[in-house]
Structure 1
Amino acid sequence: MTIEQLTPREKECLRLLLTPMRAKEVARTTGLSVNTVNEHLKSARRKLGTSDSWSAAQLLRALENPTKSSDTNKSGSPRPSIVTQNHSTDTSAFEPVVVERSSVLPFAKKGRPWNDLSFGWRLAWPFLLFGVIAIGAGAIMAVASELSQLTIALTR
């Protein structure tokens, strides 16, 4: 269960899982295929003795830097930004890229994790969407009613 057994690509894939990214996003970032990323993650899980990739990634982080705190601050909320790696074909040189977590939109964007909404926004979005749909449906019904009234008035 030592990190010396892991290849640089396996470590890279595990680190990217902590940003958080899914295997498809890791593949896009590293320029590898999704199958290759999944094989790297599978091999890393086997070498570290874990049953899932998230646990393997957390174990790698703990083994690489045991004094570093977790990804949450003292209040338990996520940190305001994350650091990912800017990858080129040369995997020996990494430049950190800071990605801000300030958006409240539930849409995935390049460089922004898909699941970084707070609990309040996760609850609010369905109500907001329902409100917009209700207003849109009401507007469509009002237009249809006015058109039917106009049709009746023109046929007299």
Structure 2
Amino acid sequence: MSISSLTDREKECLRLLAHPMKAKDIARETQLSVYTVNEHLKSARRKLGTTDSLSAALMLRAHEDPPKNLDTTESGSLPPPDPGQSRFADTSAEKTVLGRIAAVVPLGSRGRPWNDLNLRWRLVWPILLLGVVAFGGGSILAGASELSQLVIALSR
């Protein structure tokens, strides 16, 4: 259950999956069959103890490129502000909030090209969308009803 137990081919398939590529594209890129690519991904999932290949690919990416926290100094305090930096520039707090919002929106973005929402959000989004559609449809019907009442009242 560690990254070191992965073979080079499994790592290559996971890297390409995180790139993002589908198994068919990975097979074309590595000149392997789709079946072989799927077997490499399955083996990597088993070795890393994950249930899906994307999680395994993200684990490999996190292991190979650990996130660097450039927002703090050695002591953990915030660095002094850069005098040349605009006061309207994105701060790390704003980026964190935007990252949290992007984590629940089921749309592709630069860092996340496909939907990787957790189960709770996969259940909530259709309900929210249905509510918005119902509200919009109700508003249109109410407006049409009021307009027809106005036309009837003016025609008398």
TM-score normalised according to structure 2 size: 0.51
Correspondence 1:57-76 to 2 at 5 A: 57=41, 59=43, 69-70=48-49
Provide the rounded CA distance (Å) in 2 between the counterparts of 1:42 and 1:114: 24
Higher percent of residues as helix: 2
Higher percent of residues as strand: 1
Q: How well do the aligned residues superpose, as a CA RMSD in angstroms?
A: 4.1
- Return 5+ residue gaps in structure 1 as ranges: 25-33, 73-77, 86-94
Provide the rounded CA distance (Å) in 2 between the counterparts of 1:21 and 1:61: 17
Identical residues among aligned pairs (%)? 40
Provide the rounded CA distance (Å) in 2 between the counterparts of 1:105 and 1:53: 30
Match of 1:51 among 28, 35, 38: 35
Amino acid at match of 2:16: L
* 8 Å CA contact retained: 1:13, 1:40: no
Provide the rounded CA distance (Å) in 2 between the counterparts of 1:83 and 1:41: 18
Q: 1:115: Cα distance to partner?
A: 3.0
- Return 5+ residue gaps in structure 2 as ranges: 1-6, 68-95
Q: 1:110: Cα distance to partner?
A: 2.1
Segments of 4+ in structure 1 off by > 3 A?
Answer: 10-14, 57-62, 69-72, 81-85, 95-98
The number of aligned residues is 114
- Identify if the C-alpha distance between structure 1 residues 125 and 57 changes in structure 2 by more than 3 Å, giving closer, same or farther: same
* 8 Å CA contact retained: 2:104, 2:117: yes
Correspondence 1:13-52 to 2 at 5 A: 14-17=14-17, 19=18, 21-23=20-22, 37-43=26-32, 45=33, 51-52=35-36
The equivalent residue for 1:155 is 155
TM-score normalised according to structure 1 size: 0.51
Q: 1:152: Cα distance to partner?
A: 1.0
